[in-house]
Amino acid sequence: MSMTKAERQQLKKLPIQGYCDWKNIPYSKSTPGELRMVDHDSLVVRTQKNLFVWNSTGIRGDLVDFIHYYELGKNDSDSKGEAIRHQLAYARYVKGADIDVDKLYQNNQPAYQFDYKKVYRTKETNVAKDYLVHQRQLDPKFVDRLIQRGEVAQGSKYHENDKLHQNPVIFPWKDVNGKIVGADRQGTETDFEHYAKRGTSKKIARGSDVTTGYNLSFGKGDQTLVLFESPIDLLSYAQQNHQELIQNNATLLSVSGTDAKRGLHYLNAAITEKNAQFKHLIVAFDNDRAGFQAADFYERHPLQNPNTQQAITVERQIPLKGKDWNEQLKAGVTGKQSMTMADSTKRLDALEELAAQESQANPFDVKDNHVSAIPAKRTEPTSSSKKSVKRTKAQRRKENAQKNKAIMAEAVAKVKQYHDDPKALKELLDFTATGLNYSARNSMLIHLQREDATLVKGYNQWHANGIQVNKGEKGIKIYGAPVDLKTIIKPNGEKVFWRDATPEQQALTNNNQLEVKTIKHYPIETVFDVKQTNATQKQLPKLLPNRPIDLATDNSPIHLDNAYKALLNYAKQMKVPVYDQGADEILAKERMSWQGQAKGAFRQSKSDPTNKHILLRSDLTPTDKIQTLAHEVAHAKLHGLQSKNNWSTEIKETQAELSSYVVTKSLGIEPGEQSIRYIAGWSDKLKKLAGADTGKILNQALQASTDVTSYLSKNLNLGVKRQVTTKKFQSNDQLAVVQESAQNTNQMTNTMRR
């Protein structure tokens, strides 16, 4: 029986917010008229329009779409019949309960208040204990204590996805005053059909106060705060570090996800309401890209305890084994790796810079003439085939992957333009020098797809700045950081991602009849240039990367000296001493180059690779010192004996010049009128390098410069605090040793000079 128009309109009016309340799907109210899902805060519900947008995926729609994509985790190629059945069930509930949705949800009624009494629990604890002890491998005595103290409870059986599930584990949340204000519900049975991401159900109780989370205190619990992504990780860490936590008066807090700000909310409440003396924060999120991204919040937001007027030190900790603390516990390994937040940010940068597509070879290692710029022909299906052929989720994902790879291949095929067009090469170098924190490979991909790109960000990054991408804009494809995907290995060796496997294949895997591995997948992501957004002229200054110093506008001796010292610090980190006094006599004997007498050189002993150094002339101007040192640092980074690249001297010099240009340009040192002539020379050299891979040469040079500019940006913003002194030859004996090694080609690598 078909519905009337009035009935369809009533269904359309059913509020997403009301459905969330009915199904206990947790959300927070970020701004008036907006709700954000707790599990995925990039999903925003616009309550006035009763529509949602899931920014991290680009998915948007109404209640049926919300149920289909978010609650059920379905793909867009799947039928929405199940989602419609859920919508109709909610409609029956609304009608039976005589709820006026217009009054309840359109007039901003108060949100549901959490009540722990309404979280159904049982007196029995056997299911919860069995799950924690046998599946999560927590100590039985530890679990007994948690249950006795009410820190863990067993929930009642529950219906979800039209199925009765066995008893879950309940983790009650307490605020800083000890009042229970929320709870996690952790499923205790494996069900990959409905929970493909984790294998078990995870929910936050309706109305939970998301400024706190599941927490345990040791000792006084008011000096050290440790943050986790889940209660299970928190308990695993607590079991392995119990005595240390007591000594440190630590409180452990789970934020049930990666919302690092919840740790800050808890910290502020404890300091304000309980006069807590917190002086140390440990971010113990997972050892993966998402964990490091979340932890980076505390690198960007220094903390201070107003009660003590002292800075709160922040430390990053990750397990020695596995992705999270429970994986380490189950592996029987103890211990932890600690790092500063600066080192954590470097680790995040390294994860972000991984840019290879799955097990594919680096596309920039492929010869230009082996890459086709012609995309595959598209065959339009006939009207009959459109109706009869239904593509599966896996087929649609495969098609999208092929489209993205074709875009990448077309972009890579254009790499040769850099040795044909000096202007194109200069634009690439200038774009890289802006310091947008993309890897060298992604900088090339951005520029190859959109030559006029200047300021590039992802959709969510623009949205976070209050800026919208214009409707209908075509995004720029780049490589994202890797993710681990559970993969079934069929008997014939074929790989099937778990998300694409049939229920039969998953069942065979669960019975150990099919092999399962975790394989790294390198997703292709989409970014947009500022010209593709509604950004205004007033907003641009705040969006652009802050240049620590700009030697184009402020050529002061202090800034020049700071830039030079920062480069010296970078060389020191590479364990390459710099001699800028007493080396003139050696450099005077170098072969003259087209630029005249050599200004500097990098050397490394073949017999002792640790014996390496940079020589600089003592009569260089401050800007010349910076440019020359940047050039020699590039040689040290790219062309030392540890490098596997057996490039010719001409290629090495070209790479060092390209890298030096980007570094000095980022500092505001402009080559001036000679710029085009220099770049034309490099472009001409690239053109003449028969058989060499332009993409790989450029990629290495730009990556070296990106590493250096990232270091300079950070350290010059902080200020070069420690005094750095260059080395000079203190005795004639020392000078003689270096002179002798310079003359002995068997002892030293070929001199890299500028």
Q: For 144-175, give the DSSP string.
A: HHHHHTTSSEEBPPEEETTEEEPPPEEEEEE-
pLDDT-based confidence at residue 104 (cuts at 50, 70, 90): low
pLDDT-based confidence at residue 426 (cuts at 50, 70, 90): confident
pLDDT of residue 42: 75
Quote the CA–CA distance of 230 and 235 in Å, as a whole number. Answer: 9
pLDDT at 687 over 90: no
pLDDT at 555 over 90: no
Which is more confident, 697 or 422? 697
pLDDT of residue 164: 85
Which is more confident, 397 or 490? 490
pLDDT at 633 over 80: yes
pLDDT tens for each residue of 439-462: 767 877 887 788 778 788 887 778
pLDDT at 732 over 60: no
pLDDT at 143 over 90: yes
pLDDT above 90: percentage of residues in the chain:
19
Quote the CA–CA distance of 744 and 452 in Å, as a whole number. Answer: 49
pLDDT-based confidence at residue 324 (cuts at 50, 70, 90): very high
Quote the CA–CA distance of 262 and 260 in Å, as a whole number. Answer: 5
pLDDT of residue 743: 47
pLDDT-based confidence at residue 46 (cuts at 50, 70, 90): confident
Quote the CA–CA distance of 143 and 128 in Å, as a whole number. Answer: 9
Residues 6+ apart with CB under 8 A from 499: 196, 393, 485
Residues 6+ apart with CB under 8 A from 554: none
C-alpha dist (Å) from residue 383 to 27, 76, 77, 386, 390: 43, 21, 18, 5, 13
pLDDT of residue 59: 81
pLDDT at 391 over 60: no
- Number of neighbours of residue 17 by Cβ within 10 angstroms: 21
Q: H/E/C letters for each residue in 177-237?
A: CCCEEEEEEECCCCCCCCCCCCCCCEEECCCCCCCCCCEEECCCCCCEEEEECCHHHHHHH
Averaged pLDDT for residues 309-316? 90
3-class SS of residue 704: helix
pLDDT at 368 over 60: no
The CA-based dihedral angle spanning residues 13, 58, 44, 206, taken in that order and rounded to the nearest 10 degrees:
80
pLDDT of residue 273: 87
Locate tokens 């006069």: which residue? 275
Averaged pLDDT for residues 702-723? 66
| Reported pTM | 0.41
Quote the CA–CA distance of 449 and 604 in Å, as a whole number. Answer: 39
Quote the CA–CA distance of 634 and 491 in Å, as a whole number. Answer: 48
C-alpha angle 200-206-212 in degrees, rounded to nearest 5? 90
Averaged pLDDT for residues 520-542? 79
- 605, 747 in Cβ contact below 8 A? yes
Distance linking the first and last C-alpha atoms of the chain: 83
pLDDT tens for each residue of 88-100: 888 887 877 666 6
pLDDT at 365 over 70: no
Averaged pLDDT for residues 581-608? 68
C-alpha dist (Å) from residue 277 to 177, 306, 534: 15, 9, 46
Locate tokens 């940079």: which residue? 614
Q: Which two tokens stand for residue 227?
A: 């943050």
pLDDT at 519 over 60: yes
C-alpha dist (Å) from residue 621 to 305, 600, 657: 47, 13, 18
- 498, 506 in Cβ contact below 8 A? yes
pLDDT of residue 678: 59
3-class SS of residue 571: helix
pLDDT at 636 over 70: yes
pLDDT at 108 over 90: no
pLDDT-based confidence at residue 129 (cuts at 50, 70, 90): very high
pLDDT of residue 601: 83
Averaged pLDDT for residues 271-300? 89
pLDDT of residue 416: 62
pLDDT at 376 over 60: no
Quote the CA–CA distance of 380 and 657 in Å, as a whole number. Answer: 49
Of 28-32, 65-69, 488-492, 513-517, where does mean pLDDT reach its minimum? 28-32
| Nearest Cα to Cα of residue 183 among 136, 215, 217 | 215
pLDDT-based confidence at residue 548 (cuts at 50, 70, 90): low
Of 101-115, 389-403, 655-669, 722-736, where does mean pLDDT reach its minimum? 722-736
C-alpha dist (Å) from residue 306 to 271, 298, 303, 315: 8, 17, 10, 20
pLDDT of residue 692: 52
Enclosing H/E stretch for 11: helix 5-13
pLDDT at 730 over 80: no
- 549, 565 in Cβ contact below 8 A? no
pLDDT of residue 242: 94
pLDDT of residue 105: 65
- 372, 416 in Cβ contact below 8 A? no
- Which residues, listed in sequence order, are joined to residue 540 by a DSSP beta bridge? none
CA atoms in the 13 A half-sphere facing the CB of 185: 22
pLDDT-based confidence at residue 531 (cuts at 50, 70, 90): confident
pLDDT of residue 144: 96
Q: Average pLDDT of the chain?
A: 76
Averaged pLDDT for residues 545-557? 57
Averaged pLDDT for residues 97-104? 64
pLDDT tens for each residue of 178-201: 999 999 999 988 766 666 556 688
Fill in the amino acid letter for 676: I
pLDDT at 210 over 80: yes
| Nearest Cα to Cα of residue 605 among 470, 733, 745 | 745
Q: Max Cα separation, the chain?
A: 102
Averaged pLDDT for residues 327-349? 89
Q: What is the CA radius of gyration of the chain?
A: 30
- Number of neighbours of residue 61 by Cβ within 10 angstroms: 18
Pairing of strands 600-604, 752-753: antiparallel
Averaged pLDDT for residues 298-305? 81
pLDDT of residue 43: 83
Q: Which two tokens stand for residue 692?
A: 């060499």
Enclosing H/E stretch for 263: helix 261-274
pLDDT of residue 726: 54
pLDDT of residue 646: 67
pLDDT at 616 over 80: yes
C-alpha dist (Å) from residue 33 to 48, 105, 215, 749: 6, 11, 31, 66
Averaged pLDDT for residues 280-285? 95
3-class SS of residue 423: helix
Q: Which two tokens stand for residue 414?
A: 């254009």
Residues 6+ apart with CB under 8 A from 272: none
Quote the CA–CA distance of 369 and 362 in Å, as a whole number. Answer: 15
User: In 417-478, where does DSSP find H-type helix?
Assistant: 422-432, 440-449, 459-464
| Number of continuous H segments (helices) and E segments (strands) in the chain | 28, 29
pLDDT at 272 over 50: yes
Quote the CA–CA distance of 167 and 561 in Å, as a whole number. Answer: 67
pLDDT-based confidence at residue 673 (cuts at 50, 70, 90): very low
Pairing of strands 578-581, 727-728: parallel
pLDDT of residue 361: 42
| Nearest Cα to Cα of residue 698 among 647, 750, 641, 636 | 647
Averaged pLDDT for residues 246-254? 96
